[in-house]
Every structure is written in C-alpha cells, then in structure tokens.
Structure 1
Amino acid sequence: MAKRAEVSITGLKKNEVTISIKGTAPLITHKWSEKAKRQMLDKQMKKAKSGKEAKDPEADYLATIYFLEDGKRTGFPAVGFKSAMVRAGKQLGYVMADLKGMFFVKPDEGDLVEIHGKHRLREDMVRIGMGTSDIRFRAEYPTWNADITVLYNSSAISAEELAKLLEVAGFACGIGEWRPEKSASGSYGLFEIAN
C-alpha cells in the first residue's frame, strides 16, 4: 500500500491598499457611445444604412464620459488602471500573465474608479479607416486625481511592489486616449503617486 503524502495548504493572504495618484498630463476619455454601439451592431446585422446624422459636438462629448450612478461624478474603468500596471510589470521584469492573478483594482462604483477633476470638451482631427479623416469630440480632464484601491495576494506581491507598478504605469503607459502605450506621439493620461 502506498504511503499517503500530507499536504499543507497555506491560506490566501488577501490585503488591500489605497494609493492616491495625480495626473501629470491631461486625461482624455472615450467611452463607447450607445450610438456607436448601435451603428456597429446594425452593420453586423446587415441592416440598411440610414443617412448620416448631423454632428452634435456637445452630445458627442458627453457620450465619451464615464458617469457614475448619480450622473454627476465621473470615473474611468478600473480595468484600465490594472492593464497599465500589468503592462508596466513587463518593464520591471515580471511575467505579465502571472501579474494578472496577483491583484485587482477595485472600482468605486460599478466598474469605475472615480476621477476627481473638471472635464471639458476637446476637439481632435483623427484618422479612421481607409485614410479618411474625421473630427472627434471627447472629454478631457486638464487636471485630475484618483484614489486607486488594490486588492492583492500579499503572499505573491507586496504593497510596495504594487506602488512601484502603479508609478511605472503612470510614467510609461498611462490611461485613456493618446497614452504613450498606444501611440508613438501619445503623452496623455500620465500620472504619479500623490502620497
């Protein structure tokens, strides 16, 4: 008869840390509007195209904002901060696939982290498919800050390491539109540790 091996299982050590950040460059948000989602679905369902609607800059701008439930406060998807931290981990020698399960950025409400700051309408010329240009109206936060709460497995990663990931994410990756990670000329959505 084979001997039974005893296995000792240590418990998962869940901890939470909140790190305040402040923007060092404006944040540009671009939530998918209901209109854009509807147009995409209509195209996939082979529905007949309706005529082009007249642009409404104010409505287009407001549609790019992530509003919290009260319709006044605004936020940014928590997963955007996590993605930036995971990407920053590659620069620090971490295996990105391993980092994904070590921590989670907790949303303040829904799936959003609250962004503190006033937004304004921003107008940009953009290139879309087939070399065509268009004008986009989006929300921009010239100055902004946020409190990032991270739930993490402290037997795999420390609060200090998370702060370092967030610091590098704010410098090298950013969040939102025109961030360095997604554009060779991008310099928006950058931030630093505030505390």
Structure 2
Amino acid sequence: MAALVPAGLGWARCGRHEEVRASGSHRRSSRRRARAVTRPHHEKAPRSNGALERDGILMASVTEGAAIQIDRIAAETVRVPIVGTSPLIVHNFSEKSKRQMLDAQQGRKKLKEVRDPRSEYTAALYRISDPNGDRFGFPVTAFKAATIGAARFYDKSVSMTSLRQFIFMRGILSEADPQQLVEIVGEPRMREDVVRLGGPSRSADLRYRPEFPTWSAVLEVTFVTSSISRQSVLSLIDAGGLGIGVGEWRPEKRGEFGTYAVDASREIEVLS
C-alpha cells in the first residue's frame, strides 16, 4: 500500500519500504544557487561603505589601492624643577659590596677587613662623571616610580598600568654609573645610623651613608598629551613627592625622608 506524502516537502507517492526523491536534480541546483548568495548567520551583508558586519561588530575594510593612515602619538617634553622638603638619604650599592657577594656565591673565604666609615660613605654616592668634576645624582627610575605610585591617592580611573605607558622620565648616562641619573643639587654629609640586619638574629650594625639636608633637582618628563594633561603630570609628581618619596627611609617605607614638591618659584621649561 502506498503512502501519500505532501508534495511541498519534495517527496512523491511511495511504497511502505522505499522512498523516491522527486525532482532531485532541480532541488540540488537550487541549493547550490542558494549557497552562492547566502552568508553564515553571523555575517551580514556589506554596508554601503564596503565594511562587513559580523556578530554585531563592524569589521573595517580597505578599499583597493588606499593606504592606511596612522597619525603620530602627540607627546610633550618638559623640565620640572623640584625641591626637597626633607633630607635625602642615598645608599648606592658599592663595588665592594658586589665583590663580597660574588665571593660568597663562589665559596671564597671572606677575609676580615678593617672598617673604613669614610670609604663606605663615599662609595654610597651616585656619581655623574664630568670633566670639571663629578656631580651627584640619583636614579631616575625612583622618581618615576614615585610619580606612578601617586595613582593610589586618586580614584580607580587613574591606574598605574596606564600611567607607565603615558609618562616617561629621562636621566643622564655617564661612565661613572650604568643607569640614568637625575642630578642632585646640594652638598652631602655623612650620617651614621644603627640598623637591624636580616635573619633570625636580627643583630645590630652601623651604616654610613650620604645625606643631602637641602637638595633640588630637575626632572625631564615626556608624556602623551592625548592621554594625560600637563597639569595632571605635575599633580602626580607633587603627590609622589609627598606620599611616596625617594631614597632610604622614605614615606613609602614608613619613613619621613626623601620627600619633595614641584618648585613653584621656578618656571617649567617646555622642550618640545
């Protein structure tokens, strides 16, 4: 007994155990034509400007023969004068300390030496070589870290990750030190401090380090003007000097040294 299937479904009259496709070749050619003009469900037809929309996202397209135009990042470089609001304590890692560390790692026997406080003091200074006489400096990375760290004083819209990409500082490279230094204007003096060493014993020891009672410096700062304004950069430098600081015993390390502020009595020089 034959069963009757609606012709709209594309099937002809057939027997109980076999089915015969009606107009098969005609329907296959129709499907091929449909595939040629049909796009995936997530991909819409091109817009009038040639862009293609996929999953709700407008995909950019480039007209044949047209060049991609990318504008340069707008940046400004300024020289910002700062003045210390508390003494700056400096502690450079001396060559002697590096040698002792290397000897310990290589298993060499440490010979006891007579301690020379004056030599420890002079070795702890950061120096900028100059034909007219060495000048004093401090790592520029410390001032940048203080400026970026000032983001903590503002709301979450000011992130340290973004500021690292928007603000750059440049120092002086010389043969006296492999890192970039900011020149410190001031006269150092030797100070003696009792410190606690690390380890279980927590034994006491003496440290002889340079201190600048009064000091000033000039920071060369480059920032992306499309992302942050000049006034915002100055505010961050000021806040970093107030709450973060640089050097030993700074506010960030529960101290009260190494603080500074933007010097309002001097002009800010725009380099570019």
How far the C-alpha of 1:175 sits from its partner, in A, is 0.4
Of 216, 240, 245, which aligns to 1:174?
245
Q: What corresponds to 2:32 in structure 1? A: none
Q: What corresponds to 1:87 in structure 2? A: 149
Of 96, 104, 108, which aligns to 1:48?
108
In the alignment, the residues of structure 1 paired with residue 160 and residue 112 of structure 2 have an alpha-carbon distance, to the nearest angstrom, of 43
Q: What corresponds to 2:194 in structure 1? A: 125
In the alignment, the residues of structure 2 paired with residue 102 and residue 20 of structure 1 have an alpha-carbon distance, to the nearest angstrom, of 20
CA contact (8 A) 2:104 2:110 kept: no
Structure 1 segment 93-172 matched on structure 2, within 5 A: 93=155, 94-110=158-174, 111-130=180-199, 131-172=202-243
- More contact order relative to length (CA 8 Å, sep ≥ 6): 1
In the alignment, the residues of structure 2 paired with residue 89 and residue 77 of structure 1 have an alpha-carbon distance, to the nearest angstrom, of 20
Report the residue type matching 2:231 in the other structure: E
Moved more, 125-134 or 103-112: 103-112
Q: What corresponds to 2:37 in structure 1? A: none
CA contact (8 A) 2:128 2:172 kept: no
Deviations 1:131-155 (A, max 9, x none): 0111000000000000111011111
Report the residue type matching 1:57 in the other structure: P
Report the residue type matching 1:5 in the other structure: S
Q: What corresponds to 2:36 in structure 1? A: none
Of 71, 77, 87, which aligns to 1:16?
77
5+ residue gaps, structure 2: 1-45, 52-59, 63-67, 175-179, 265-272
CA contact (8 A) 2:189 2:210 kept: yes
Structure 1 segment 31-42 matched on structure 2, within 5 A: 31-42=92-103
Report the residue type matching 1:25 in the other structure: S
1:57 aligns with 2:117: yes
Structure 1 segment 25-36 matched on structure 2, within 5 A: 25-36=86-97
In the alignment, the residues of structure 2 paired with residue 166 and residue 84 of structure 1 have an alpha-carbon distance, to the nearest angstrom, of 7
Deviations 1:16-59 (A, max 9, x none): 011111101000000100011111222223x2222222211111
CA contact (8 A) 2:196 2:203 kept: yes
How far the C-alpha of 1:8 sits from its partner, in A, is 5.5
Deviations 1:95-118 (A, max 9, x none): 111111111111034400100000
Report the residue type matching 1:144 in the other structure: W
Task: Give the secondary-structure state (helix, strand or coil) at the position aligned to 2:97.
Answer: helix
Q: What corresponds to 1:190 in structure 2? A: 259
TM-score, with structure 2 as normaliser: 0.67
In the alignment, the residues of structure 1 paired with residue 173 and residue 154 of structure 2 have an alpha-carbon distance, to the nearest angstrom, of 30
Of 61, 64, 73, which aligns to 1:5?
61
* Pairs aligned (count): 192
Q: What corresponds to 1:77 in structure 2? A: 139
Moved more, 69-78 or 19-28: 69-78
